[in-house]
Amino acid sequence: MSNNSIFIKKLRSSGLRPTKQRIKICKLLFERKNTFHFTINYLNNILKNKYAEKISLATVYNTVNAFKKKGHLKEILISSDKSYYDTNVSNHHHFFDENKRELIDLDDKDVGKINIKKALPGKKINSIEVLVKIANNN
């Protein structure tokens, strides 16, 4: 199976038609060894710099959201108006460096046991993700 066929399969499984632009987005996100944290605008800027062909912001948004809905990406809400996305969808936590505006992975083993004492009727906890905001010591 060639690399493109892997990306085409991922796009189709996410309900997307595998256009040239979407394949480029998919490669940029998933053809890497390390976790990739990004905002939509950051991803769009990388795409602009990497490819001569313009990829519309709407295509970037729609592709990222389809991957998120399918479980290929995780969304990390930093604030009510700022989201980052993560290609590592396993259970793990994050530092958010407020000075550099970047996410840094924090392994599950590096966070102690979390005890939630309140229960909501008819609800169960699916997962707990810790976001630790850090800044320079000034």
Q: Is the pLDDT of residue 2 over 70?
A: no
Burial 21-42 (b: 16+ CB within 10 A, else e): bbbbbbebbbeeeeebbbbbee
For residue range 85-103, list pLDDT tens digits in order. 999 999 899 999 999 999 9
- How far apart CA 9 and CA 43 sit, in angstroms, is 21
Cβ neighbours of 94 (radius 10 Å): 22
Mean pLDDT of 95-124: 92
pTM of the model: 0.89
Q: What's the mean pLDDT when you consider all of the chain?
A: 92
Counting Cα atoms < 13 Å in the Cβ hemisphere of 80 gives 0
